[in-house]
Amino acid sequence: MSKPASRLDTEQLMILAERVTELPAATAEWVGILLQELLRARADELLAGQPDVGQESDRPNAELDDQQAQLALDTATWLKTLWTEGYMGAGNFRSPPRSAFPAVDLEDVRKSSLFARIRQGKHALPFAPPTRHGLPWHELLEGSRPTHTVEAEIIADETGLPLAVIIEGCAEWQVIEASRGTRQYLVQHQGKGPAYRLRLTDGLAAELHREPPSLTRRITLQGRAGIHSYTLEWVDEDGAARLVPLRAATWERAESEAEHWLAMVHPERYGQVRFERCEP
């Protein structure tokens, strides 16, 4: 392997980081960890050599520090998601085909829950979440609070059969099940994500409660020669089983990766699965 003529700069390291995703999962895991340590060491080196606050750098093209570099990467991920998925935080984004990217103003940056989600290190959802008065409502999907007070209106046909429901101004909710005489409905947004129990109270006032997971799937930890890996054991409704490798170094990241896989492959089950940790 030939040696580089000079030290790799930050841009070259970022290019290598992107190419890690092209490696097999088992290789990408340890290469990614090694590259992250290299980037962290380079960032520490740059920070140690920075001038004091208030002083200008002698280099007009000074290297970005680690926080600035991460912010740039997060912003790129956000803008890419806006283009590919077609939804944004504070406004609306027209459906494909798209020929020009719209202006993103300060309100979009500040109010975008998608941007905030990416900056927290979370995956962007592969489908648009429910909205609350026009803004993406990620908290409803993944927040710790299971019950929310909402305004809701049931849309029924001439016989009284519920067809759909409008919740907090979002008309893309579907009625899965209706309980006669109790004013309670099992609903889901666009057939994706968790199921919710909607209970009408007075007028348009209602309570929306996220149903607990109805399925349990195992995540197993395996170790060989000092290298650990995580695998999701998934069983389809027809009984077919598959093993899904998870790119993770911790249990928390493994569960996050499992949730992301679920959102990509089985969005109708997203938020409805409890993961059981299994160690040898």
Domain residue limits, the chain? 10-50+64-119, 135-210, 215-278
| pLDDT tens readout for residues 11-69 | 666 666 667 666 776 776 777 777 777 766 766 665 555 544 444 444 444 555 667 66
pTM for the structure as a whole = 0.61
Residue 130 CA to residue 136 CA, distance in Å, equals: 6
Mean pLDDT taken over the chain: 78
- Residue 198 tokens, joined: 């909607």
Do 185 and 177 contact (CB within 8 A), yes or no?
A: yes
Residue 48 CA to residue 27 CA, distance in Å, equals: 32
Residue 6 CA to residue 28 CA, distance in Å, equals: 25
Residues of the chain with pLDDT under 70: 1-18, 20-22, 25, 28, 39-40, 42-66, 68-70, 81-104, 225-226
| Nearest of 188, 197, 194, 191 to residue 214 by alpha carbon | 194
Burial class (CB in 10 A: 0-12, 13-18, 19+), 234: buried
